[in-house]
Amino acid sequence: MAQPLKLYLIRHGIAEERQPHLPDPQRALTAKGRQKTQKVAQRLQELGLQFDDLQTSSLVRAYQTAEILQHQGLVTTIHISDLLRPDGNWQEWLQWLQNWRNQGLTRLALVGHEPNLSTWAEILVWGQPRRQLVLKKAGMIGLLLPEHHNPVGQSTLFWLTAPKLLF
């Protein structure tokens, strides 16, 4: 039986606009994006947050966001997960999560993309996606997954914030 899990879903910061000759996965955080993400990371650290693991999409804007969180001391190591890319599959991710939980760790952060993150949160909390959660860039969602093998529709939402409502 898995332990209760605090799951933090963090959207990447503000990135470069799409451009004809810039592949989408290569789009980097802008100066403003870095600055805001850095302020979020500082706030999370001041609030005493610490993650046992941080998994991120491999896309540059997500990986850079994860690095900022790591440099702030919120987590020691970063892992890249293809399941967190924009085309990541929800069912596969859930299966991965159930395996991850078998380690007995209780604080997991994911850095990824919209609409995936807010959709997945809704599935965990209400059992189905309705697209009614507003997750801004560098914003975050906090969920508590109960001691169930299947957390779908059984998790609770304890946090949802935009960067501007955090500092």
Contact residue for its own copies among 2, 133, 138, 145 (CB under 8 A): 133
Q: Which stretch binds its own copies (CB under 8 A): 15-23, 69-77, 85-93, 149-157?
A: 149-157
How far apart are the C-alpha atoms of 66 and 29, rounded to whole Å? 11
Of 83 and 141, nearer to its own copies (C-beta) is 141
The answer to whether residue 157 forms part of the interface with its own copies (CB under 8 A) is yes
- Label residue 86 left, alpha or beta by phi (over 0 means left) and psi (-120 to 50 means alpha): alpha
Contact residue for its own copies among 84, 117, 125, 145 (CB under 8 A): 125
Of 90 and 126, nearer to its own copies (C-beta) is 126
Contact residue for its own copies among 18, 21, 47, 91 (CB under 8 A): 47
Asked if the bond preceding 115 is cis, omega within 30° of 0, the reply is yes
Q: CB-based contacts of 19: which residues, under 8 Å, 6+ apart? A: none
How far apart are the C-alpha atoms of 40 and 52, rounded to whole Å? 18
The answer to whether residue 146 forms part of the interface with its own copies (CB under 8 A) is no
The answer to whether residue 126 forms part of the interface with its own copies (CB under 8 A) is yes
The answer to whether residue 13 forms part of the interface with its own copies (CB under 8 A) is no
Contacts within 8 Å (CB) and 24+ apart, 21-29:
24/59, 25/58, 25/59, 25/60, 26/60, 27/59, 27/60, 27/61, 28/60, 28/61, 28/64, 29/60, 29/61, 29/64, 29/65
Q: Which stretch binds its own copies (CB under 8 A): 16-24, 54-62, 100-108, 151-159?
A: 151-159
Of 80 and 162, nearer to its own copies (C-beta) is 162
The answer to whether residue 100 forms part of the interface with its own copies (CB under 8 A) is no
Which residues sit at the interface with its own copies, rule CB under 8 A?
47, 125-126, 130, 132-134, 142, 144, 153, 155-162, 164-165
